Amino acid sequence: MRTTTPPAPTTQATQATQATNSRALHRRRAATVGFHAGAGLLSVLWLIPIALVLVTAVRSFDDIAANGLGALPHSFTLDGFSQAWTDGGQQRALVNSLLVTVPTVLLSLLLASMAAFALSRYDLPGRRTLLLVMLGGNLLPPQILLIPVSKMAELFALHDTLWALIGVQVGFGIGFFVFVLHGFMRAIPAEVQQAAVIDGAGPAQIYWRIVLPLSRPALAALGALSFTWIFNDLLWAITVLRTETRMPITASLLGLQGQYVSQWNVIAAGSVIAAAPTVLVFLRFQRHFVAGLNLGAVK
């Protein structure tokens, strides 16, 4: 009589392991599909208002008046951009925004990098307290400082000038920049600085020729992020500025809405013009934006 032998324990264990791995693989695939489906849905919801603004900007006023704002476009024209750019003052406002944003970013990064270099590479008394004070200043809500800032601008005869707006932006941003750059520069190996000292380099040469080039990724990330923050700022612009011809592009959108209250194609075109510089900066420095989210967290 022929007898059958039971399967070996090792074979049963292998089959159980394979079944477990298969179930885990299916769960990971299901989770991946669910994540991409959810992310895709959120992306669509995020892009719908942007697409609506773009479509509205290239429609004519008669088309919007006849068919409604949410209807499919029955026309294509760039007259809205022309009106917003010339009659709406967007050209002048865009120049004002760039005159404020570019110097502010460069000056903030320069001052913050020098302060971060001194605080991170040298044993200065009270440096921890100074860093906490700088960080604490950024935790204050800006709304409680609107009146003091406006009064100080008047006291120094800078009220209603772009210099006042540049000073405010530099003053409120430099603390955060120093805190982030301090964490990045502190991670630079001390042996690099020691080798430079042995070669006869002074603090200025070490800062300019060694530490600053090594900190280029951090500077690029902060520069890209700060450009977006400063260019899109509205609060400080309407606090220290009064003359319409000196307003940046975010503040000019308020005047554009009042001037073309019912011409939604012009208002939408002005919004597209206002968003274009930051979109271009984001596309150019996209990887620096991503790096900026974790900048200083592991340094």
What was the pLDDT predicted at 288? 66
Q: Which residue in 240, 111, 128, 228 sits closest to 170, CA to CA?
A: 111
- Tens of pLDDT, residue by residue over 277-291, are 998 888 887 776 666
pLDDT winner (highest mean) among 126-130, 167-171, 261-265: 167-171
Q: Quick one: tokens of 30?
A: 């299901």
- Tens of pLDDT, residue by residue over 129-182, are 888 888 887 788 888 888 999 899 889 888 899 999 999 999 888 988 998 899
Q: Is the pLDDT of residue 260 over 60?
A: yes
What was the pLDDT predicted at 299? 44
Percentage with pLDDT > 90 across the chain: 36
- Tens of pLDDT, residue by residue over 208-221, are 999 999 888 889 88
Q: Quick one: tokens of 27?
A: 């769960």
- Tens of pLDDT, residue by residue over 90-124, are 999 999 999 999 999 999 999 999 999 999 988 88
38 residue type, one letter: G
What was the pLDDT predicted at 298? 45
Q: Is the pLDDT of residue 36 over 60?
A: yes
What was the pLDDT predicted at 230? 94
Sequence-ordered list of residues with C-beta below 8 angstroms from that of 220, at least 6 positions apart, any chain? 285, 288
In this prediction, residue 205 has a pLDDT band, given cuts at 50, 70 and 90, of very high
pTM of the model: 0.82
Q: Is the pLDDT of residue 1 over 50?
A: no
What was the pLDDT predicted at 289? 63
Percentage with pLDDT > 70 across the chain: 91
For 89-92, the CB contacts below 8 A with 24+ separation are 89/244, 89/245, 89/252, 89/255, 89/256, 90/249, 90/252, 90/256, 90/270, 90/273, 90/274, 92/245, 92/252
Q: Which of 2-6, 70-74, 93-97, 192-196 has the lowest mean pLDDT?
A: 2-6
Q: Is the pLDDT of residue 297 over 70?
A: no
